[in-house]
Amino acid sequence: MEQNKIIVAIDGYSSSGKSSMAKWLASRIGYRYIDSGAMYRAVTLFAMDNGMIDSNGNVDAEALGNEVDAIEIDFAIMPDGQHTLLNGADVERQIRSLEVSQHVSPVAAIPMIRKSLTRRQKEFGQQKGIVMDGRDIGTTVFPHAEMKVFVTATPETRARRRLRELEDKGMKADYESVLANVIDRDHIDETRAESPLRKAADAVVLDNSDMTPAMQQEWLLNLFNTIVCCKK
Ligand code: CDP
């Protein structure tokens, strides 16, 4: 059965619910889940902690670029799900903060950072049997992925979802700041020169603005089953 495993690439806009969908699918089909955004967030936290981002939000791209290959990023399975490890420390909570969200897109636009993380992401996919979500998974990381989904929803819907997520974790934020961050990141992600956020030509679009999680899950599993069944 091993040789029938595929690569699933789920890309889309910030807070579109890609991670929840990807996580659910991976556990349902017994695949490994990799959150590529968590890797960009971890590098951003490293840059913040090491004085590589000034008070105006400018990133010292050269200093960070020189360090990036030495930054260890890993994932650990905990009772409440997968946690991101930065140089061995559990940073799952910190990387989800609005502060990290506000700095991550400029960091992710730096070519040396993308090169380093893209290489690591490709390594995760060597054995197939992986679900990865992000912005450039179907276009750059796994252009030959057998299943590609591009997820979108209105900015307002996404901001409401993100706000609820932050509040559920007991983190403070207000709707206007979250909405501004969602719009700002979309813009930076779509207009950067290196691997911009865009739909791969062969990706299937899912606008989940009016879908419940259960509806999305059914849609995703149907697509997966169709692809795997036709591949045999
Ligand atoms: O969870 P959310 O959708 O808000 O974002 P994320 O998936 O955690 O990604 C955070 C940021 O990392 C994005 O806004 C992008 O700037 C960057 N990113 C990227 O450039 N390429 C990826 N494959 C994944 C994330």
186 lines ligand 1 (CB under 6 A): no
Q: What is the pLDDT of residue 229?
A: 86
Mutating to test ligand 1, I would choose from 11, 18, 104 the residue with most ligand atoms within 8 A of its C-beta, which is 104
Q: What is the pLDDT of residue 3?
A: 59
Q: What is the pLDDT of residue 123?
A: 97
Q: What is the pLDDT of residue 230?
A: 78
pTM for this entry: 0.93
What residues in the chain have per-residue pLDDT under 70? 1-3, 232
Q: What is the pLDDT of residue 30?
A: 96
Closest atom of ligand 1 to CA, residue 137: 23
Q: What is the pLDDT of residue 1?
A: 47
Q: In sequence order, what DSSP letters do the residues of the chain get, joined into one string?
A: -GGG--EEEEEESTTSSHHHHHHHHHHHHT-EEEEHHHHHHHHHHHHHHTT-B-TT--B-HHHHHHHGGG--EEEEEETTEEEEEETTEE-HHHHTSHHHHHHHHHHHT-HHHHHHHHHHHHHHTTT--EEEEESSIIIII-TT-SEEEEEE--HHHHHHHHHHHHHHTT----HHHHHHHHHHHHHHHHH-SSS-S---TTPEEEE-TT--HHHHHHHHHHHHHHHHHHH-
pLDDT digits (tens, 9 = 90+) for 127-159: 999 999 999 999 999 999 999 999 999 999 999
